[in-house]
Structure 1
Amino acid sequence: MVSRVKRLFIGRPMKSEELGEEKLSKLKALAVLSSDALSSVAYGTEQILLVLMTVGVAALWYSIPISVAVLGLLTILILSYRQTIFNYPAGGGAYIVAKDNLGLSTGLMAGGSLLVDYILTVAVSSSAGTDAITSAFPSLHDHRVLISLIMITFLTVLNLRGISESASVLALPVYLFVCSVFILIVCGIYNYITGGVSAPQPVSGMTMSGVGLFLLLKAFSSGCSALTGVEAVSNAIPNFKKPAEKNAASTLVMMGVILGSMFIGISLLAYWYGIQPTEKETVVSQIAASTFGRGTIYYIIQGVTALILFLAANTAYSAFPLLAFMLAKDKFMPHMFMVRGDRLGFSNGIIILGVLSALLVIVFHGNTENLIPLYAVGVFIPFTLSQLGMMVKWIKLKPNGWGLKLIINSIGMLTTLVITFIFIITKFSQVWMVFIFLPVVMFIFYSIHKHYLNTADELRIQIDIDKPVIKGSTIVIPVAGITRVVLNTISYAKSLTDNVVAVYVGFDDEDIQKMEAKWEEWNPGVRLIVLRSRYRSIMKPLIRFIETVEWKTADTDHITVLIPQFITKYWWQNILHNQTSLLIRAYLFQQKDIVIATVPFHLNR
């Protein structure tokens, strides 16, 4: 039953040889890896306006120069990450760059920041998509968390089906969103030129009290949330078809051009239309309503905007499992993240990402505004470390044309470093958790790494010295009575060795006498040891007996505890039985260096 349900949702298992078919073309990769960055135009401008509105409507004029500054930073990041792609074609982005050039700890800081950022990406995208839906249908506002969780579940299942299939599903809504936004921008500009804009506009260049450098920097840093997701292409180069690095670089440039055009267009329309952000309606919704009215076109734009905001999380579903794989390969994350699933994706990474992001949505009650600052800081730290790493690389290697490359990465590093500090200073009350979770994540990385190294040391053998030790075998069988389960277990034990002993724990003299009499009558050819338990505990007397056997035979025999267990036909029937065998096995696994095995007996009704 479980297998059939899995096949229904996930699809048929794929052979390892089919991995090449899962590689992405540029158009599919743009849909999968750029959906996060492209979708951020739906809330990037809004974040700028929210800060400026704190001092009045007249301050909204500053949104234009701030948007131009954000566009300049986007250009720098595109040029910088394009260099990273060609120099680190194996992927990994900031983690690999920082680890190779700045040291292991710095690399882990970048990797940890990215992992947390990808979790936040899913939470922010699903929350922002819900906001777009509730803007069009205000009656759904109280169900924001549930809508977000449904979409996270959908994306998790979609990605478990494989990256190629998810890309095919994503391509249409991503390109519909791009077309819709450009149509909105063109029609909005036409309305403005022809005098169709009736909303009051703030006075251009107006100076007013309350607008200082601190406020402008705060608005700029908020607008930089539109740049999250730019690094995803450099992290996922192995997902591209060959030549992977050239295709990745082309995809990155296409993403930059589309993102920059849409962002500056939305910012201009918001200013020309005199848009003021509100809690109940997004900026894009207001622009669309002012341009087309609340008719069919408006609802189409809101629909594709909500869809792209939900699907933007797919960027994280592509990059998180790959980065987790690289960290696991270096022994800083559990090895389960290295395992490919039935559909050749890193299924464990996909599932963990979905679960953690869903928890974030629940904790923050689907409030996008509370998540975005933390989300942006999580990505600007890797931005800065990646650029710094590339600077060190150029200074050390000095390849042809390294001077220009150094200048590009230096500008990128200084700009993103400033942005990071701006976020920390202006939004400390919302991003203070960075100073807790980053050290915690790095501590976890090092703890995992230490465990794997210690485990390897203890398991390692010297091939020329260490040889198997041949011993006899003593088998201990805990029994609760004389049944077919016990018969089945004794039969198996005697096929291995003649040194078999059964152990029965009795609570009173009557039970013990009955058991001894029945055993003697049955006479299975195995000695029965009877233990008395005055406190009605099975575990303590049994463990003491096993310890005695272990002490007496440790040098001559391997000790095996063979546990009889019957398996019910239906899972719910297990509840009706005392699962003492499970307790015995669990305790012995944790406490004893002995062999523990279960002999199953399946019931037919």
Structure 2
Amino acid sequence: MIPGFKRVIIGRPMKSNELGEEKLNKLKALAVLSSDALSSVAYGTEQILLVLVTMGAVALWYSLPISLAVLGLLTILILSYRQTIFAYPAGGGAYIVAKDNFGTSIGLVAGGSLLVDYILTVAVSTSAATDAITSAFPVLHDHRVLIALLMIVSVTVLNLRGITESATILMYPVYLFVAAIFLLIIGGGFQWIAGNVHAQTPVYGVAVPGITLFLLLRAFSSGCSALTGVEAVSNAIPNFRNPAPRNAALTLIMMGLILGVMFTGISLLAYAYGIAPNPKETVVSQIASAVFGRGVIYYFIQAVTALILFLAANTAFAAFPLLAFMLAKDRFMPNMFMVRGDRLGFSNGIIFLGVLSSVLVISFGGETENLIPLYALGVFIPFTLSQGGMMKRWVTNKPAGWLTPFILNTIGMLTTLTICLIFLITKFTHVWTIFIFLPIVIFIFRKINGHYKDLAEELRLDVTTEKPQPKGSVIVIPVAGISQVVKNTISYAQSLSDDIVAVYVAFSEEEKKKMGEKWEQWNPGVRLIILRSHYRSIIKPLFKFIDTVEWKKAETDHVTVMIPQFITKRWWHNLLHNQTSFFLRAYLFARQDVKIATVPYRLKK
């Protein structure tokens, strides 16, 4: 039943040699890896206005120069990450760049920040998509957490079906969103130029009493949330078709151009139409309503905006498993993140991301505004480390023409570092948790790495000198009575060793006598030891027996506890039986001097 359900949801298993077919062309890669960055258009301008409106509507004109500054930073980041793609064609982004140039510790800071950021990406995207839905349908406002969780489950299942299939599905809503925003910009711009807009627009350049550099920097840092997801292309180069670096670089440039035009257009329209942030209606919704009214086009724009915000989480689902794979390959994350699933994707990373982002949405109650500052800081820490790592690479290697890219990376590093500091100073109450999350994540990385090092050292074998030493074997069979299950286990044990002893734990003298008589009558050719338990415990008497040496022929013998177990035909039948064999195995696993074997007997009815 479960395998059949899995096939319906996930699809048929794919052969390993089909991996080449799971690579992305530029058109599909733009949809998968740019959905996060492009979707930030839906809330980037709004985040700037939310800060500025605290000084009154007259201050909203500052959104234009701030948007221009964000556009300049976007240009720097696109050009910088284009260099990173060609310098590190194996992917990994900030983690690989920082580790290669600054060492493992700094690399883990970048990798940990990115992992936290990808979890936040899913939470922010689905929360923002919920906001778009509730803007159009306010009656759903109280169900935002449930809606966001349903979105996370949907995108998780979509990615478990494989990156190519998810990309094919994603192409349409992503390009529909781009078309919808361009339609909004063209329509709104035409009405503005034609003089059909009569909104009260704040006068550009007018002095605002009480405005401070601190507040402007805070608004700028909030607007930089529109740049989240820019690094995803450089992280996921292995997902591209060959030549992968060239295709990734072209995809990055296309993404930058589309994002820049859409973000600038929305900021201009917000100013032209005198839009102020509204807690129950997004800025994009207000612009669309002002331009087209609440008709078919308005609901089309809201629908594709909600869809792209929902699918923006897919960028994280494309990048998180790949980064987790690289960290696992370096022994900083569990080996399970290196395993490809039925559809050749890193399924464990996909499921892990879905679960953690769901927990985050529940914890924050689906409030996008509470998540965005932490989310943006998680992006700009890797941005800064990546730019700094590239600076060091240019200075160290000094290839031909290195000075220009070095200057570009220096400008990028100083800018992103400044934004990190602005976030820390202006929004400390929102981002302080990163000082808890990040050290914990890095501590976990170190503990995992330490375990793998200890394991490798302990399991290392010198194949030239160390050979297996032959030993005797003593098999102990705990029995609960005389049955087909016990017969099956004894038969198997007799094929392995001549030194076998069965052990029965009796709770009364009468039970002890009766079992002894029945065993003697059956006479299976195996000695039976009957232990008396005064406290109705099977485990303790058995352990005491194992600790004795009367039945050990030599200290060098292997001691194997062979546990008989019947396997029920239907899963619910297990609920009707004591799980003695399960608990027995659980206790015996703690013993270093005992080997454990389970001999199953499958019931037919």
Structure 1 residue 416 and structure 2 residue 421: aligned? no
Residue 283 of structure 1 corresponds to 283
| Count of residues in Structure 1 that have an aligned counterpart in Structure 2 | 605
Residue 317 of structure 2 corresponds to 317
Structure 1 residue 218 and structure 2 residue 218: aligned? yes
8 Å CA contact retained: 1:240, 1:247: yes
Amino acid in the other structure paired with 1:41: V
Residue 304 of structure 1 corresponds to 304
Amino acid in the other structure paired with 1:453: K
- How far does the alpha carbon of each residue in 1:283-318 deviate from its partner, in whole angstroms, 9 at most, with x for none? 000000000000000000000000000000000000
Q: CA deviation at 1:556?
A: 3.8
Residue 341 of structure 2 corresponds to 341
- Give RMSD over aligned pairs: 0.9
- How far does the alpha carbon of each residue in 1:407-444 deviate from its partner, in whole angstroms, 9 at most, with x for none? 00000000000000000110000000111111111111
Aligned pairs for 1:224-303 within 5 A = 224-303=224-303
The SS at the match of 2:590 is helix
Q: CA deviation at 1:553?
A: 4.3
Residue 115 of structure 2 corresponds to 115
CA distance in 2, matches of 1:328, 1:196: 58
Q: CA deviation at 1:550?
A: 9.4
Structure 1 residue 512 and structure 2 residue 551: aligned? no
Structure 2 runs not aligned, ≥5 long: none
CA distance in 2, matches of 1:550, 1:284: 82
8 Å CA contact retained: 1:561, 1:595: yes
- How far does the alpha carbon of each residue in 1:315-335 deviate from its partner, in whole angstroms, 9 at most, with x for none? 000000000000000000000
CA distance in 2, matches of 1:556, 1:259: 71
Aligned pairs for 1:452-601 within 5 A = 452-549=452-549, 552-553=552-553, 555-601=555-601
Residue 207 of structure 1 corresponds to 207
Given the superposition, is the C-alpha separation of residues 347 and 549 from structure 1 closer, same or farther in structure 2, using an over 3 Å criterion?
farther
Q: CA deviation at 1:554?
A: 5.2
Structure 1 stretch displaced more, 393-402 or 550-559: 550-559
CA distance in 2, matches of 1:593, 1:107: 41
Residue 442 of structure 1 corresponds to 442
CA distance in 2, matches of 1:576, 1:562: 23
Q: Provide TM-score, normalisation by structure 1.
A: 0.99
The SS at the match of 2:210 is coil
Q: CA deviation at 1:549?
A: 4.4
Amino acid in the other structure paired with 1:159: N
Structure 1 residue 364 and structure 2 residue 364: aligned? yes
- How far does the alpha carbon of each residue in 1:87-132 deviate from its partner, in whole angstroms, 9 at most, with x for none? 0000000000000001110000000000000000000000000100
CA distance in 1, matches of 2:210, 2:329: 52
Structure 1 residue 132 and structure 2 residue 132: aligned? yes
8 Å CA contact retained: 1:550, 1:559: no
Q: CA deviation at 1:589?
A: 1.0
8 Å CA contact retained: 2:474, 2:552: no
8 Å CA contact retained: 1:506, 1:531: yes
Q: CA deviation at 1:210?
A: 2.2
Identity value in percent:
73
Q: CA deviation at 1:591?
A: 2.2
CA distance in 1, matches of 2:554, 2:198: 92
Given the superposition, is the C-alpha separation of residues 336 and 63 from structure 1 closer, same or farther in structure 2, using an over 3 Å criterion?
same
Given the superposition, is the C-alpha separation of residues 549 and 294 from structure 1 closer, same or farther in structure 2, using an over 3 Å criterion?
farther
- How far does the alpha carbon of each residue in 1:471-507 deviate from its partner, in whole angstroms, 9 at most, with x for none? 1211100011111111111111112112110001111
The SS at the match of 2:548 is helix
8 Å CA contact retained: 1:232, 1:319: yes
Given the superposition, is the C-alpha separation of residues 487 and 158 from structure 1 closer, same or farther in structure 2, using an over 3 Å criterion?
same
The SS at the match of 2:503 is strand
CA distance in 2, matches of 1:471, 1:413: 64
CA distance in 2, matches of 1:438, 1:364: 18
- How far does the alpha carbon of each residue in 1:58-83 deviate from its partner, in whole angstroms, 9 at most, with x for none? 00010000000000000000010000
Residue 431 of structure 1 corresponds to 431
CA distance in 1, matches of 2:556, 2:364: 61
Q: Provide TM-score, normalisation by structure 2.
A: 0.99
Amino acid in the other structure paired with 1:441: V
Amino acid in the other structure paired with 1:164: T
- How far does the alpha carbon of each residue in 1:27-83 deviate from its partner, in whole angstroms, 9 at most, with x for none? 100000000000000000000000001110000010000000000000000010000
